[in-house]
Structure 1
Amino acid sequence: MRLIRLGAAPSAVGADVRAALSTWGVGDAVLGGVALLGVQPPDCPMPLDAVIVLGRGVLVVVGVDLPDPAKRLEAPLGGQWRIDGWPLVRGDGATSPAAEALEATKAVARRIQDMRGEPLPVTTVVAVGPYVGHVVQPTADLNRGVRVLHPKPTTLLAAARELATAERPCSVDHAAKLIAVLAATGTPPSAQDLRAEGFPTAVADESTMLLPRVTAAPRRSRPAWLPYAAVGVALAVVAAVVVAVSSGGGSQAAPTAGTSTLPTTVVVDGRGFTPHGADRTGDCGAHAFGDVRAWLAANPCSRLDRAQYETTADGRKAAVAVAELAVADGGRAEELRAVASAAGAGGITALVKEGRGWSGGPASFDRSAIRVTATGGAVRVAQAVWSEGESAPTDATLAALAEQALRLPAG
C-alpha cells in the first residue's frame, strides 16, 4: 500500500487509520493499492481521512470521533447510534452521522462516474475511535458495502478484501487516471510504482483524459456529537466528526450526472486545465503572424485547430494556448517546427488576441513560454503565460506548463 499524504487527518481517529495502513508496507505483498490521505475530492463537501484505490475497488475511509472508548457501538445508517446504550446525538438534534455520510460518499461516487474514471465499486469504511470493542450493524447496511470498525491493521485489511470485489482488475493506466480524478493536486504515482502495488500493466499509455468540469465545494466545519442519557442530559462534547457511507455498488450507486451540458476539464500529469474556447479553420495563414505567416503563405496547410485553457501553478493562475496545424507531410512539418521555434519568428495568433478572452484571463500571450513539436504532418504550438503579472519566455514554471500543454486537445 503506497501512502500519499495530501492533507492533515480531519479526525482524531484518522491517526489510527494512517498507522494501520502504514503497517502494510509498500508493495502488494499484503494488499497493494494507493491510499490518498487527508484528501478532499472536488465536489466532496468535506475532507476525508482516506480514499483507497485498489485493483478491484475504491474505499472511502472516514472518521468518527467518539467522546470515550466504548465496549459496544450500535451504528445503523438510518437510525440512532448508541454507545454502550447511550444515544449519540448532536446539538442540532441529529441522531446519526449517516446523513452526512451519504452526502460525502455520493459526491465521491459521482466524481468518479462523471469524470469517466474506471467503474470500480465505491464502498465505505467508517473508522470509529478512540476505541470500540464491538460494532453492531444491520445486515442491510453490510450488504450496501459499509463497514463500521475501529481501525486496526487486521480489521481494515479484512474490510478491504471484503469490499473490493470488481470482476476485472484496474490497470496501471486507469489507476493513474482515477487517482488524478480524486486528487485535485499533485501528480499520480509513476507506472512503475503502480505496478509495484499490484495494478496490471495497461495495454496503452494515455497521458490525457477528457473530464467534465467540477467546482470545488466549500469546506464545512465538522459537527460535534454528544452522548445523552435517557433523560436527555449531555455528558460530553466531542471533537468534530466526518463520516462517509458508501452507496456500495450495483443499483445503489449514485446516478451519473449528464455531461452534455457541462464544460470539460482536461487532466495532464495530474494537473487540471479548464478550457476557455476553441476554434477550427481552413485558413491557417489568416491566424498567424511574422515568419510563420510567410511560411504558411508559401506552403499548404489544410487545417488549424486552436484552444485555450486556464490552470494554476505555484499558487498563481496561468493560461495556455494550443494550436495544431495540418500540413502536407512530415518534411514540411519539420520545416514549420523550425520556423515557429525560432525566437522572434512569429507564431499563431491566440484566441484572446481575437477578442475571445475570459474573466480573469490574460490580455494577451505576449512574452509567453513557447514549445513546438512536429509529428507526421501535424505541428503543435503551445504557449503559457501568467494570467496576471509579468511573464517571460525563460520562466521555468511557464516552460513546464507549455510542455504539458502540448498534450492538450487543440480543438
Structure 2
Amino acid sequence: MSDSVPKFPPRPSDQGSLIVSSLPDQLPLTLRTAPVAAPPPRRRRWPVIAGGVLAALLVAGGVLWWSTGSAPPQPAPPPAAPAAEFVFARAPETQRAVLDSDCSAHAYGDTKAFLVDTPCAQLTRALFTTTTADGRTVHTSVAVVRMHTADDATRLGDLVRVDGTGSVNDVLRDRVAVVPGLTRLSRGGFAATVLDQHVIIAESDTATPLPDPMAHKAEMKRVSTAALDLGVGLN
C-alpha cells in the first residue's frame, strides 16, 4: 500500500480569490442628483365645501334682496273704524218717507211762524228704531226741511237749535206712526244740522227711559245726533 496522499485541486478560497461586483465604484452624476418623486398630495375637501356654502349664501342673499329690496315697502293698512254706537232700522210705518210741501202745517212754536213767513220747498220725514246697549228700543223721527235758499236753511237751523222755539212735528206727534207708551218724541233728545239748503232734525225717545232724567236726555241726544246721517238722501 502506497503511503502517498492524493492531491486535489485547490479550492478558490485557497487561491484568495473574491467575487467582485459588476457595479461601478461611483454612480453617475445624473443618478446621484435626480430628485426622488414624492407621492401625490391628498386633496383637501374643505375648499370645495366652503365654496358650496358661499354659493348658497350668495343665492339666499339674492333671493332676500329680490323679495325685500326690489319692491317698495307696502303702507300699513289704515286702522279699522270704530263700531257705531247705534244701528238704525227703518220702521215699517214709514218704509216710504212721508212728504209734504207745506212745512208750516207740520210745525209748532216760533218755528211754525218762521215757516209761514219763509215757506219751505219740501218736508220729508221717516221713523227709525235702534237699541241701547242694555237692550231698550228707541224710536227716532228724522225730518228733512228743504228750503229755497241756503241762507233760509241757516236761519231755520239757528232757530230750532234754541230751546223753547218749537220745531217740526215728529211722526208720532202727527200720528203718522203709533208707538205704545209714546205720543211724541220731543221729550227725549234733539239734534239738528244744516247742509246747504237742507235742515235735518232728529228727535228720539223710548218708552223705557233711564231712571235719571238727565242721563235719559243725554242718551237720547246721542241717538238723535247719530241719526242725523240718516237724513242725507232720505226718501
Q: 1:369 touches 1:392 (CA, 8 Å); kept in 2?
A: no
Whole-angstrom CA distance in 2 between matches of 1:289 and 1:352: 14
1:273 to 76, 89, 92: 89
2:221 to 383, 395, 399: 399
2:103 to 284, 289, 293: 284
Q: Which digits, 9 at most, give the CA deviation of each residue in 1:268-311, with x for residues without a partner?
A: 66613232423001011100000110110111311000111111
1:355 aligns with 175
Counterpart code for 2:89: F
1:365 aligns with 2:185: yes
Whole-angstrom CA distance in 1 between matches of 2:107 and 2:185: 13
Q: Any unmatched runs of 5+ in structure 1?
A: 1-190, 196-266
Secondary structure, in 3 states, of the residue corresponding to 2:185? coil
Q: For residues 76-115 of structure 1, what are the structure 2 equivalents within 5 Å?
A: none
The aligned length equals 150
Counterpart code for 2:88: G
Q: For residues 184-203 of structure 1, what are the structure 2 equivalents within 5 Å?
A: 192-194=78-80
Secondary structure, in 3 states, of the residue corresponding to 1:352? coil
Which structure has more strand as a fraction of its residues? 1
Q: Which digits, 9 at most, give the CA deviation of each residue in 1:102-134, with x for residues without a partner?
A: xxxxxxxxxxxxxxxxxxxxxxxxxxxxxxxxx
Q: For residues 111-260 of structure 1, what are the structure 2 equivalents within 5 Å?
A: 192-194=78-80
Whole-angstrom CA distance in 1 between matches of 2:163 and 2:120: 22
Secondary structure, in 3 states, of the residue corresponding to 2:78? helix
Secondary structure, in 3 states, of the residue corresponding to 1:344? coil
Whole-angstrom CA distance in 1 between matches of 2:121 and 2:214: 32
Give 1:338 deviation, angstroms: 0.8
Counterpart code for 1:407: D
Whole-angstrom CA distance in 2 between matches of 1:350 and 1:382: 8
Q: 1:385 to 1:329 in 2, by over 3 A?
A: same
1:321 to 141, 145, 149: 141
1:293 aligns with 2:109: no
Q: 1:362 touches 1:388 (CA, 8 Å); kept in 2?
A: no
Larger Rg: 2
Secondary structure, in 3 states, of the residue corresponding to 1:395? helix
Q: 1:284 to 1:359 in 2, by over 3 A?
A: closer
Whole-angstrom CA distance in 1 between matches of 2:166 and 2:196: 22
Whole-angstrom CA distance in 2 between matches of 1:370 and 1:307: 15
TM-score (norm: length of structure 1): 0.34
Q: Which digits, 9 at most, give the CA deviation of each residue in 1:235-291, with x for residues without a partner?
A: xxxxxxxxxxxxxxxxxxxxxxxxxxxxxxxx9666132324230010111000001
1:336 aligns with 156
Whole-angstrom CA distance in 1 between matches of 2:209 and 2:218: 15
Give 1:380 deviation, angstroms: 0.5
Whole-angstrom CA distance in 1 between matches of 2:228 and 2:120: 19
TM-score (norm: length of structure 2): 0.57
Q: Supply the RMSD in Å over aligned alpha carbons.
A: 2.6
Whole-angstrom CA distance in 2 between matches of 1:292 and 1:300: 11
Q: 1:394 to 1:342 in 2, by over 3 A?
A: farther
Q: Any unmatched runs of 5+ in structure 2?
A: 1-76
